[in-house]
Amino acid sequence: MSSKSNGATNEIKFTKLFINGQFVDSLLGKTFETTNPTTEEIITRVAEGTKEDVDLAVKAARNAFDNGPWPRLSGEARRKILLKFANLIEENGEELATLDVIDGGKPFSLSRYFEIPTVVELFRYYAGAADKIHGTTLKMNTSIHAYTLREPIGVVGHIIPWNFPSQGFAMKVAPALAVGCTMVVKPSEQTPLSALFYAHLSKLAGIPDGVINVVNGFGETAGAAISSHMDIDTVSFTGSMEVGRLVMQAAATSNLKPVLLELGGKSPFIVFDDADFDKAIDLAIYGNFINKGEICVAGSRVFVQEGIHDVFVNKLAEMTKDWTIGDLFDPTTRHGPQNNKQQYEKVLSLIEHGKKEGATLLTGGRPFGKKGYYIEPTIFIDVTDDMIIAKEEIFGPVISVLKFKTIEEVIKRANATKYGLAAGVMTKNIDVANTMSRSIRAGAVWVNCFLALDRDAPHGGYKMSGFGKESGIEGLDHYLHIKTVATPIYDSPWL
């Protein structure tokens, strides 16, 4: 089957489940549609996994962990296979990017030249870590020799978000593979196609059967089965706060498996009077409208100090006109459709809330075009902290601009949120920068930059943005157990 979108044709090669190294139909023979958000047309139908398919996938992953070679390979051997996997992803980057474009509605340039290279480098980064999983020698206070082992936790359940399907796959799968885990991956039902292609490439790379299993399906069935499965040792989930609660509850009421949760945010982007004005404008736009605003760290609460507020919002509106909407395969296009109809309607509903609550609509706020889930880049001013648009994660191209006077005031207001994923601070004053970076309760504070995400930088939130870290060396920790080994020492000249 093939799909045509904006002049690009892509054959859909993989639509089944991937279990124990084979593409298979679901046990109940069920399928579901995946839709192109640009055209609102069906791309293809993919196999729909349910609890029974998850059970089969977990059985394969458990056997691969308990009896298979992957956890028992040397770190060097896993490193070589992961590097081959990375090379295969790089070689197939065009096709992988195209799948995410037609399935997720992101501009091709963003997918091909940012997300796919990020995926490649994540696998290379964790390949380099595979032979560096070190324990420590302990200095005990008695005649005991002791050391720690860092061992793979076992079978992992990964639940992948739809906004960055490829990067989400790599951030979870690469570190888990590096330490020797096996896994069941559930891509979002909105964007399942690239995960299946990655499964195919993993087999070509030499990853043994059963190590990676991909079960397409819905959260309330396949996702719930993973979260509550008694033979899955840990779960990693990225998505909404509401679903994160369900994942955590299911993990607790089953086998008390640990969970890693990344649950979004409502990040402040704080611009002081002395900031580099043009840079602040560019980052405010980029940090909110990139990937059509479907980004968990979006700086959607733009706090602007009163001395530059009026000129800032005027310039912001002017520069937003250059944020091009159009053909996703046109390299000049920067803005695509929302990922799915439900998200499209949610964003439009929240825009209406903003109007009703008294915020002033400066730009945008309307659907764009006659087909597809496009929404114009939107800016609200005269926003107050108690408005819904200032409190709720919109996950769409909507900026709320708020005015502030003092550093003490903006710290308090920036922290007055249930979220704590990221923050941006724009100032030339090092004292202000230091105070802000230590005062804001967020997992990342970007000073005079934004979206400074990197494979070497741990990513994760405070408060209801979740817990646990992905990326960086810390990204290995969730997939490792620490074991202490102790044995007596006899007649040693020293302890």
| C-alpha torsion angle, residues 270, 271, 274, 278 (rounded to 10) | 140
DSSP H or E run through 20: none
Per the CB < 8 A criterion, the answer to whether 323 and 368 are in contact is: no
* CA 490 to centroid of chain Cα atoms: 51
Q: What does the alpha-carbon distance between residue 138 and residue 136 come to, in Å, rounded to a whole number?
A: 6
Exactly one of 115, 121, 189, 262 is catalytic; which is it? 262
Query: Do strands 212-214 and 234-238 pair parallel, antiparallel, or not at all (unpaired)?
Result: unpaired
Assigned token pair, 38 = 């640009």
Q: At residue 44, what is the residue type?
A: T
List beta partners, residue 487: 145
Residue 373, classed as helix, strand or coil, is coil
* Nearest by Cα to 200 from 15, 3, 11, 67: 15
121 is catalytic: no
Spatial separation of the C-alpha atoms in residues 481 and 451, rounded to whole Å: 31
Residue with tokens 């691969």: 64
373 and 340 Cβ atoms separated by less than 8 Å: yes
Partners of 426 in the beta sheet? Answer: 271
H, E, C per residue of 305-348:
ECCCHHHHHHHHHHHHCCCCECCCCCCCCCECCCCCHHHHHHHH
Separation CA 473–CA 173 (nearest Å) = 14
Q: Active-site positions? A: 262
